[in-house]
Chains A and B, each alone.
Chain A
Amino acid sequence: MVTPLTGSWRDDAVPCPNSRYGMRLRFAVLGWAAGVLAASAAFAAPFVPADDATVLERLPTRSDPSLAEFGRLQKELASNPKDPQRAAAVAQRAIAAARAFGDPRFLGQAQAALNPWWSADDPPPAVIVLRATIKQSLHDFDAAIVDLDRVLATGGDHLQALLTRATVLTVLGRYEEAKRDCMRLARRAQPLVATTCLAAVTSVSGDVDGAYRMLDAALAAPSADPQIRAWAATLAGEIAARRGDVAAADRHFAQALTADPRDGYLKGAYADFLLEQDRASAVAALLKDDTRNDALLLRLALAEARLPEHSQAFRAHRDELAARFAAARRRGDVLHLREEARFALEIERDAANALLLARDNWSRQREPADLRILAAAATAANDARTLKVVADWIAKTGYQDVWVASLRTRPRS
C-alpha cells in the first residue's frame, strides 16, 4: 500500500497555456468580482459555436496520458462496482490525481469509487484507509480517525494507516497519540519516514531543538526517494524558521526544492519563510506560474502587495482571491478558512473578520500555520480572550516560534 511517488512527472509536463482562454477567464473573474454574484454564475453571454470543430474543453487526459489508464480503470469499475480491489485502485489513482493536479474533482471521483462502502462498517482494510484519506482531505478529521482506528485495532502495522493517523492526530493537537503511531511506524518503515513523522510531532509539542537535531541528522544520510526527502527537508526548513535559524532554513528549503521543485506545499512553506524575511521579489518569482492554487495565489498576492511595480497584478489577484473565497463560501466549504483569514487580515486589513475566521479555523485544526494566523488576528484586533487562548496553548504544549513571539513587540500595521 505504501507506494512512494515514482515516475518522471516533471519531464512529462506539457506547457500548453491557452492565452485566448486566459484573457477571457481574466475578464470573467473581474466581472464576477465587480459584483456579478448572480447564482447563474454567467460571466460571458452564452453562445452557440458556429463550427462543429470548435474545441470547447481540453480534458486532463490530454496533458497526462496516464489518466487514460485511470479512465479505463474507472470504466471497468463501473461494470463491476462492488469489486473492492478495482475500487481501491481507482480511488488511489483519483486521490493521487487530485494531489498532482490540485484538482478537487478527482477527490469526488475517489469517493464515488468507494460508494458501496462509504457508510459501511467493515469494508476491507485497503478501502477503509482510502476512505479515511478522502475524509481527511475534506477536513473531516474525526471521521478519518474513527476509520483508521478500526484498521489499526485489528492488530498488525498497516503502515499507511499509521502514517495517516499520526499526521491527522498532529493536526488535531493530540500529540502523545501521534508520537505512539510514529514509534510504531519506526519498527517497519524506512528511517527517514519514521524520523520525519516523529519530528513533526515533537517540534510542535515542546522540543523544537531536539526535533531539529534529529531531522537534520536523518537528512544527512543519503536517501533514495526524492519525494520523501523533499517532505523531510521542507519540515526541517519550517522548524529552522520557527527557531529563528535563517541560514539553516534557507539551506533546507533549497534541499527540498532540489528534490522536488514543483511541490505545492513546499512552495507555500518556502514563500511564508521568504515573506517573513521580507524577500517579496523572491516570492513573486517563485510563484508566478502558480495562480491556479488558492494557497499559492494568496502568497503571490501578499508579495505583490509589497512590490510597487506589481501593483496591477496585485489588484487582479486580490479580486480573483476574493471571488474564489466567495465561491467556496457559497458552496459551503470550510477547507479554505486559514487562507481566507490571512486574506482578510493581510490584504483586506479587516482584523475583526480575520479573527472570526481564524477562530473558526482553530476550532477545526491546530497546525503551526493555524496558530500563527490566530495569534496575528488576535493581536491585530487586540482581542484579549483569543490572545489568552494562544498563550494557554503555548504554555500547555511548549510550542516555540520566534515569529509568534515577535508579534507582541511588533508595531501594529
Chain B
Amino acid sequence: MGRVASYPTTVVTRWLVLLAAGFALPQDAHAHKPSDAYLTIERNGGALTGRFDIALRDLELAIGLDANGDGEITWGEVRRQHNAIAALAVDRLSITAAGQACPLIVTGQRIDTHTDGAYAVIDLAGRCEAESGVLAIDYRLLFDVDPQHRGLAQVVDEGVAQSLVLSADRPRAVVAGDDRLAQFMSYVREGALHIWTGFDHTLFLIGLLLPAVLVRLNRHWAPAARVSPVAVDVFAVVTAFTIAHAITLTAASFKLVEVPSRIAESIVALSIVLAALNNLRPVVARARWSIAFAFGLVHGLGFANVLAGLNLPRDVLLIALVAFNVGVELGQLAVAAVMLPLAFMFRATAVYQQVVLIGGSIVIALLGVLWFVERAFNVVLWQAR
C-alpha cells in the first residue's frame, strides 16, 4: 500500500535539491504515499452503511489535531476533535439515490493503521428517500488543502461492487449498477438538470424563442396569426439545437474532437450575444433553426465537459450519452412549454413586443458579453453570491 512512487525518480527532481533549504531525513518505519482516503459505501434498499478512513496526517492539515503542538497525535487529541472530524466527513460527502439526498450520520469513530500511518475510521449510516435508483457520490474532502488528494471509493450496491477514484478534477461519480433503466433515467435527469442549472444554454434558447410568437413584416414585428406555424418554428429550433449538440457531444465524448473548454465556453457566450442581437436587428428572421444548429454544435462541446465530470465508466458511456441528450431535450421542451403559452397570449401587446422582446434581448446580450469577456480573458467581472 504505502509507496513513494509518485515521488518521481527521473533526473528532473535532482534539480530541486539545488533549489531549496535542507531538511532532516526522518527514519520512521512508515512508507510515504500521496494522500488517499478510503470510502466504503454499501446500499441495501433505502439503507446505507459506510466506512470512511481518513489519515490523521490529513486531518491535522484540514482541521488540526495536534493540540499541544508536540508533533505527536494522541487518542485524546483525536477524541477532542471527534465533532469536527464527523462534521468534515459528512459535509464533504454527499450521496444521492435517484437524485434525492441520502443524509448521512456518523455512528462511531475508531482508529486503523494503514501502511503510511494511522487513520481515523468514521462509521457512517444513512437513509435514502428513494428505495432504489442510481447512486451518485459527490466528494469534496481535502481538495482545498491538497489538490492531489484522491478518494478511493468502493460502492457495494445491492451486493454488486464497483471501485471509483474521486479527484479534484472529477469529484462526482455515478455508480453504474445493474439496473439499466434506472441508469438511463439518472442520465436523463442529469441532462434535464443541466438545462435547469446551466443558465447560459437556457438563455440562448430563450433568446431564440422570444420572437417565435411574432412574424417579421416590413421591418416590424407583428403577432403571429395562428398557433401552428409558431409550434413548427419552436419545434424546428429546439430540434435543430438538440441534433447539433448531440453530434458534438458524442464526438467529444469519444474523443474524436477536442476543443479547449475555454474556447468552447467563450463561443457559447458569444452565441448568446448573437442570438439576442438578432432579435434587435434581425439578420436571420425566418430560419432561426439554422442559428440554433450552428451554435448547438458549440453548446454540445460545453455539455461534454459536464459529462466528463461525471466520471463515467467506459461501458455505460453510450447509454449515458443518449440519456443525457434526451434529458437536455426534455429540459428544453419544459422551458418552451412554460414560456410559449404566455408569450403567445401576450404576443400582441406592446409590453411583449417592447419590454419583453427588446428589453429582454438587451439584457440577454449584455449577460452574454459579460460571460464572453470573463471566459475569453479569464477574468471575473461579476460574482453572484
Contacts and interface: CB of A to CB of B under 8 A. Distances in A.
A212 B186 CA distance: 63
A150 B31 CA distance: 37
Contacts of A330: 152, 163, 165
Nearest to B117: A57
Given A8-B22, A294-B3, A44 B147 contact: no
A334 to B, nearest CB: 9
A112 B8 contact: no
A338 to B, nearest CB: 7
Nearest to A133: B16
B161 to A, nearest CB: 8
Interface stretch (A63-71, A278-286, A302-310, A379-387): A63-71
A112 B51 contact: no
B32 interface: yes
Contacts of B14: 231, 234, 263, 265
A55 B5 contact: no
B200 to A, nearest CB: 20
Contact of B148 (A108, A324, A328): A108
A393 interface: no
Contacts of B149: 108
B118 A40 contact: no
B24 A66 contact: yes
A154 to B, nearest CB: 18
Interface in B74-99: 74-76, 78-79
B305 interface: no
Interface in B12-48: 12-36, 38-40
A399 to B, nearest CB: 15
Contact of B154 (A39, A55, A97): A39
Interface stretch (A12-20, A243-251, A347-355): A12-20
Contacts of B66: 59
Given A57-B72, A265-B9, A327-B3, A99 B163 contact: no
Interface residues of A, number: 120
B7 A62 contact: no
A95 B21 CA distance: 10
Contact of B5 (A5, A98, A138, A339): A339
Contact of A44 (B6, B10, B112, B152): B112
A104 B79 contact: no
A137 B2 CA distance: 19
B4 interface: yes
B26 A63 contact: yes
Contacts of A168: 12
Contacts of B150: 331-332
A155 interface: no
A324 B23 contact: no
A394 interface: no
B147 A111 contact: yes
Contacts of A156: none
B56 interface: yes
Contacts, number: 344
Contacts of B78: 56
Nearest to A96: B20
B100 interface: no
Contacts of A79: none
A263 B18 CA distance: 12
Given A48-B111, A57-B56, A171-B11, A333 B5 contact: yes
Interface residues of B, number: 80
B22 A5 contact: yes
Contact of B32 (A102, A139, A335): A102
A200 interface: yes
Contacts of B167: 332
B145 interface: yes
Given A16-B27, A29-B115, A328-B3, 4 more contacts: A42-B51, A96-B21, A100-B24, A264-B9
Contacts of B2: 25, 29, 292, 324, 327
A32 B2 CA distance: 11
Contact of A52 (B26, B27, B61, B76): B76
A105 B146 contact: yes
B28 A16 contact: yes
B12 A4 contact: no
Contacts of A1: 19
Contacts of A294: 3-5, 9
A64 B3 contact: no
Contacts of B32: 101-105, 292
Interface in B152-198: 152-154, 161, 163, 165, 167
B17 A13 contact: no
B144 interface: yes
A137 B5 CA distance: 11
Contacts of A95: 16, 19-20
A139 B28 CA distance: 27
B32 to A, nearest CB: 4
A221 interface: no
Nearest to A335: B6
Contacts of B146: 105, 108-109, 111-112
Nearest to B11: A367
Given A108-B34, A108-B147, A137-B13, A47 B111 contact: yes
Contacts of A137: 7-8, 12-13, 16
Chain A CB count within 10 A is highest, among B13, B58, B165, for B13
A93 interface: yes
Contacts of B23: 7, 9, 64, 66-67, 96-97, 100-101
Contact of A47 (B58, B110, B115): B110
Contacts of B36: 327, 331
Contacts of A39: 38-40, 152-154, 161, 163
Given A29-B1, A265-B14, A332 B165 contact: yes
Interface string A91-133: 0110111111111110111011001001011000000000001
A14 B27 contact: yes
Nearest to A365: B10
Nearest to A200: B11
Given A52-B76, A331-B165, A103 B1 contact: no
B53 A40 contact: yes
Interface in A1-43: 1-10, 12-19, 21-22, 24-25, 28-29, 32, 38-43
A336 B21 contact: no
A55 B72 CA distance: 6
A340 B3 CA distance: 12
Contacts of A331: 6, 34, 36, 150, 152, 165
B15 A167 contact: yes
B376 to A, nearest CB: 11
B232 to A, nearest CB: 44
